[in-house]
């Protein structure tokens, strides 16, 4: 055995760095195909010697098979792609093994005689693999395209469906949201602040896109500078917003923007988008229980009060149009944004409206551009004062 | 331990007649009836991690039931889908089973999860497979009839019909026809099986059942 070791030193070094040179016989676990074995196959311990491959089947009736290395016809394959098959000349006996050290052991035992064949098989496998991966990538791409198509298809269909739904659907969603969101303590209906906001909304109502929408005003005793509209026309205004406004026109600017969200049905669109995602996920994943739970959670928190940038711009422009036709200068809207921007540094925590309505400079300039494009009009100041409301808020 | 697969092929069930001291493991939930002299203990087969992996990736239940005969008796095992069962003797060789196919094995059999790879996933056969190896008999089931084929060269099998295969055969995804007919002609992805070794196929596919049920909902 020592003689073999010396004779193969050069080859071993050339092939792998970690073959134990003093162990010329190595044992691996693999298997044998041969007709003499019941069922034609069995697992086997494989011994690689410099002359032959020996395979001893395991268990009862253990048999020993021998295959001369000089006769060995190599193949590479199997489920892993690493299975090495050695067949005799008439293919009646096959010894196979996928252990990592097996190819190196075969190579060194055969003094490198099998190396060329190994190289050939590996390069064949590589080219097959890359071809395979090419097709796999193409298929995955196709699947992705189909999924994306379905996703955007559902979204578009949802948008169309939303427009055909009656306003009562918006009202129902708004009613559910008002219960689940429980925004805080409302001021009394007769409170001067509630009366003021209601007067402004009623002033704007005839000029909104849906004048018979069920606009309802709730003023919340809260120092946050915040206002939002729920689907169906419920409008919430926080006392902090009234306190920071300089005049009724600025409040009207915010209210016009929020009323526009309701008449443009942004809330319903948002819900339908989430539903579109659910439907698409259902198609792709098959199970959406967790996603629905997550989605309903989100719906309670912010889905209905924070909109996309496009929706915000849309609400700005529709709000500006409403103000303009109501005889109020749309510039008031921009003014209020300016105030909020300037106070942002001092009162970051309470400026909730900013968190859902960012990008002030863009929005202010957008409103200004829109205002300039409108036909010249004689704007009249609102005959409403914030003084009573501000005083009564302070006393609470 | 004498066994018999009865009511083949549509509603196959496995009758195991046990002598005192006989034992075997089976998929939890497979037992339909058993004698009072047989004790049943539930354990992680192959350790906790392996059991969890098998549960998550190979669709098998988290636990294995081990049946031990204290006096002579019998156990009857069934499978959830109507179909055939087959007994496969292992002599130190290895077999890969599709998720959910495994029913029972003799004590000399080791069960493990093995990574089947992206190609297997695309072939519709899952990312993981159950690996059974060792000495003894393994029973597995299928949806519909089971037939086996000794592979020499290449064979094309419809996706979802491959139940078990040896590690000596390679499987890779292929398209039934061109891209267009594959996606719109209903055959879609097929499996190209190549090499030397035995594969087991089922005559029906679960995907086919799911599609049929979906179309009737
Ligand atoms: Zn807004």
Strand B102-105 and strand B146-158: pairing? unpaired
Same structural domain, A229 and A351: yes
SS3 A146: helix
The better pLDDT of the pair B185, A94 is held by A94
SS3 A342: helix
Place of tokens 């204290």: B70
In a domain, residue A334? The reply is: yes
Same structural domain, A357 and A331: yes
In a domain, residue A56? The reply is: yes
Query: Which structural domain, as residue segments, surrounds residue A76?
Result: 6-113
In a domain, residue A259? The reply is: yes
Give the pLDDT of residue B4.
93
Write down which residue in A90, A113, A136 finishes a domain: A113
Place of tokens 């690493």: A82
Q: Which of A111-115, A178-182, B10-14, B150-154 has the lowest mean pLDDT?
A: A178-182
In a domain, residue A118? The reply is: no
pLDDT grade for A295, boundaries at 50, 70 and 90: very low
Give dist(CA B102, CA A359) in Å, integer: 60
Give dist(CA A373, CA B156) in Å, integer: 68
Same structural domain, A280 and A306: yes
Mean pLDDT of chain A: 79
SS3 B213: helix
Phi, psi of A341 (to 5 degrees): -65, -45
CB contact under 8 A, B150 and A40: yes
Same structural domain, A157 and A182: no
Which strands sit side by side in the sheet containing B13-18, from one edge to the other? B2-6, B13-18, B73-77, B31-34
ipTM of the complex: 0.78
What number is the average pLDDT over the span B180-195? 66
Same structural domain, A261 and A380: yes
What number is the average pLDDT over the span A385-393? 85
Same structural domain, A382 and A293: yes
The better pLDDT of the pair B115, A131 is held by A131
Percent share of chain B, pLDDT over 70:
79
Same structural domain, A212 and A341: yes
In a domain, residue A122? The reply is: no
Same structural domain, A159 and A170: no
Centre a 10 Å sphere on the Cβ of residue B3 and count the other Cβ atoms it contains.
18
SS3 A372: helix
Same structural domain, A247 and A334: yes
Give dist(CA B71, CA A86) in Å, integer: 48
Instruction: State pLDDT tens for residues B135-144.
Output: 999 999 988 8
CA distances from A389 to A197, A223, A257, A332, B30 (A): 9, 14, 21, 19, 74
Same structural domain, A72 and A135: no
Strand A94-97 and strand A216-220: pairing? unpaired
Residue B90 contacts A where some CB pair is shorter than 8 Å: yes
In a domain, residue A275? The reply is: yes
Characterize A21-33 residue by residue with b for buried, 16 or more Cβ atoms within 10 angstroms of its Cβ, and e for exposed. eeebebebbbbbb
Q: Which of A102-106, A194-198, A294-298, B102-106 has the lowest mean pLDDT?
A: A294-298
SS3 A19: coil
Q: How many domains does chain A divide into?
A: 3
Write down which residue in A52, A86, A113 finishes a domain: A113
In a domain, residue A121? The reply is: no
Residue B110 contacts A where some CB pair is shorter than 8 Å: no
In a domain, residue A276? The reply is: yes
Give the pLDDT of residue B123.
72
Q: A-B interface: how many C-beta pairs under 8 angstroms?
A: 84
CB contact under 8 A, A43 and B167: no
Percent share of chain A, pLDDT over 70:
77
How wide is the angle at C-alpha B143 spanned by C-alphas B138 and B147, nearest 5°? 65
Same structural domain, A282 and A178: yes
Instruction: State pLDDT tens for residues A342-355.
Output: 655 444 444 555 55
The better pLDDT of the pair A171, A6 is held by A171
Best probe of the B interface among A35, A36, A79, by most B CBs < 10 A, is A79
Q: Give the CATH number of the domain where residue A38 resides.
A: 2.30.29.30
Same structural domain, A144 and A170: no
pLDDT grade for A14, boundaries at 50, 70 and 90: very low
């Amino acid at each position: 055995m020592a003689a073999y070791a010396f004779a193969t030193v050069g080859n071993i070094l050339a092939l792998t760095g970690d073959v134990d040179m003093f162990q010329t016989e190595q044992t691996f676990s693999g298997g044998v195909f041969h007709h003499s074995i019941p069922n034609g196959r069995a697992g086997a311990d494989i011994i690689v010697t410099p002359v032959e491959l020996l395979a001893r089947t395991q268990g009862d009736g253990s048999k020993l098979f021998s295959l001369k290395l000089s006769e060995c016809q190599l193949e590479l394959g199997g489920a892993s792609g690493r299975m090495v098959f050695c067949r005799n000349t008439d293919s009646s006996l096959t010894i196979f093994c996928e252990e990592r050290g097996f190819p190196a052991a075969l190579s060194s035992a055969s003094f490198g005689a099998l190396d060329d064949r190994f190289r050939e098989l590996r390069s064949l496998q590589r080219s097959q693999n890359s071809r395979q991966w090419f097709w796999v990538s193409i298929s995955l791409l196709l699947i992705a395209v189909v999924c994306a198509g379905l996703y955007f298809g559902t979204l578009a269909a949802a948008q169309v469906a939303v427009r055909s739904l009656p306003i009562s659907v918006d009202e129902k969603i708004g009613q559910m949201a008002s219960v689940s969101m429980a925004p805080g303590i409302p001021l009394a209906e007769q409170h001067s602040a509630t009366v003021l906001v209601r007067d402004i909304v009623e002033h704007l109502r005839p000029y909104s896109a849906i004048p018979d929408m069920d606009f309802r005003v709730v003023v919340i005793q809260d120092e946050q500078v915040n206002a939002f509209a729920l689907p169906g026309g419920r409008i919430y205004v926080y006392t902090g917003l009234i306190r920071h406004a300089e005049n009724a026109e600025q409040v009207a600017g915010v209210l016009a923007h929020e009323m526009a969200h309701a008449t443009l049905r942004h809330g319903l669109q948002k819900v339908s988008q989430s539903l579109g995602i659910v439907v698409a996920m259902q198609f792709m994943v098959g199970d959406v229980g967790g996603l629905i739970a997550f989605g309903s959670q989100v719906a309670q928190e912010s889905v209905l009060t924070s909109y996309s940038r496009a929706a915000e711009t849309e609400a700005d422009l529709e709000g500006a149009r409403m103000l303009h036709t109501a005889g109020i200068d749309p510039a008031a809207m921009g003014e209020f944004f300016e105030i909020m921007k300037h106070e942002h540094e001092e009162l970051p925590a309470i400026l909730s409206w900013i968190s859902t309505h960012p990008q002030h400079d863009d929005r202010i300039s957008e409103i200004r551009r829109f205002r300039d494009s409108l036909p010249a009009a004689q704007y009249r100041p609102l005959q409403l004062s914030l003084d009573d409301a501000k005083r009564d808020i302070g006393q609470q | 331990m004498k066994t018999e697969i009865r009511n083949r092929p549509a509603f196959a069930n496995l009758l195991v007649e046990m002598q005192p001291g006989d034992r075997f493991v089976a998929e939890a939930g497979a037992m339909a009836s058993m004698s009072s002299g047989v004790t049943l203990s539930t354990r992680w087969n192959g350790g906790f991690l392996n059991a969890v992996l098998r549960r998550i990736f190979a669709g098998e239940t988290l636990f294995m039931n081990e049946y031990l005969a204290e006096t002579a008796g019998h156990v009857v095992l069934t499978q959830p889908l109507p179909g055939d069962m087959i007994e496969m003797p292992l002599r130190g060789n290895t077999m890969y089973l599709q998720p959910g196919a495994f029913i029972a094995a003799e004590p000399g059999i080791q069960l493990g999860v093995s990574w089947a790879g992206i190609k297997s996933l695309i072939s519709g056969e899952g990312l993981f497979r159950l690996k059974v190896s060792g000495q003894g008999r393994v029973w597995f089931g299928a949806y519909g009839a089971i037939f086996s084929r000794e592979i020499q060269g290449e064979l094309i099998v419809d996706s979802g019909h491959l139940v078990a295969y040896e590690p000596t055969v390679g499987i890779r995804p292929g398209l039934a026809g061109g891209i267009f007919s594959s996606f719109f002609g209903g055959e879609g992805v097929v499996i190209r099986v190549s090499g030397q070794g035995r594969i087991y196929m089922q005559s029906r596919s679960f995907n086919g059942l799911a599609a049929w049920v979906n179309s009737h909902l």
